[in-house]
Amino acid sequence: MSKQFDIAVLVGSLRKHSLNRLLAQEVAVLSPASLALQLIEIGDVPLYNDDWDLDPPSAWVSLRSRIARADGVLFVSPEYNRSIPAALKNAIDVLSRPYGKNALDAKPAAIITTSPGALGGFGANHHLRQVLMCLNVRTLPTPEAYIGNAANLFDERGKLVEPNVSEFLTNFMLSFEEWVQALGPRR
Ligand SMILES: Cc1cc2nc3c(=O)[nH]c(=O)nc-3n(C[C@H](O)[C@H](O)[C@H](O)COP(=O)(O)O)c2cc1C
């Protein structure tokens, strides 16, 4: 097989039964074999504080090195009050520092937002795009992924049961694979 790309997945929800977490797990299954997805936990990442960068907490060090060696990042997030959850923003802030050592620099990325509401986290999706822009993240422009009515997409085992959504996400991940291939791995 040709090269496998290492894709770090950051889920914006910390909830055990998160719809976004379920979706991310399903996306890992339906992604092309050339993408190896791994969920990276961000719930125990201390809030960013410049003072601590003289002797950074171990959770910052490991998050930064894990993302720095990834070939790409997939963000799967809910919308909180028309923006992204604080936990995800904090993880991004930690990754962006210290100044000049942005672990996300030039990284290929893609965004999926998921909501039980009809709009599929549109506001969060675009806030996240804006944040990633100033960090020089190469975010996949299209297709865009706003997954609405998400409470009805899974069976009791957490499996995606809506074929249209599965097909959409399969094609979305094929587009992301092309995007990662085109931009090349960053080592
Ligand atoms: C603090 C908070 C703010 C929320 N704001 C929004 C919102 O602006 N738009 C939206 O569609 N859903 C909003 N929701 C509902 C979430 O979409 C819903 O709880 C969803 O299930 C969270 O994702 P998860 O299942 O992955 O945890 C909000 C939920 C919380 C806890």
pLDDT of residue 1: 55
Asked if 10 and 76 touch (Cβ cutoff 8 Å), the reply is yes
Q: Could you tell me if the CB of 84 is within 6 A of ligand 1?
A: no
Query: Rounded to the nearest whole angstrom, what is the distance from the C-alpha of residue 127 to the centroid of ligand 1?
Result: 15
pLDDT of residue 186: 57
Nearest by Cα to 77 from 86, 64, 68, 67: 86
pLDDT of residue 68: 98
Atom of ligand 1 nearest to the CA of 78: 23
DSSP category for residue 154 = B
* Dihedral angle over CA of 6, 39, 168, 114, nearest 10: -140
Token digits for 124?
A: 């969060």
Q: Could you tell me if the CB of 146 is within 6 A of ligand 1?
A: no
Per the listing, tokens 């976004």 go with 20
pLDDT of residue 185: 61
* Residue whose CB lies within 8 A of the most ligand 1 atoms, among 16, 115, 127, 152, for a mutation test: 115
What does pLDDT average to in each consecutive run of 10 residues of the chain (187 residues)?
89 97 98 98 98 97 98 98 98 98 98 98 98 98 98 96 98 98 76
Give the span between the Cα atoms of 138 and 128, in whole angstroms.
Answer: 12
Atom of ligand 1 nearest to the CA of 150: 21
Write down all domains in the chain, each with its CATH number in brackets. 5-183 (3.40.50.360)
pLDDT of residue 2: 72
pLDDT of residue 3: 82
Q: Could you tell me if the CB of 43 is within 6 A of ligand 1?
A: no
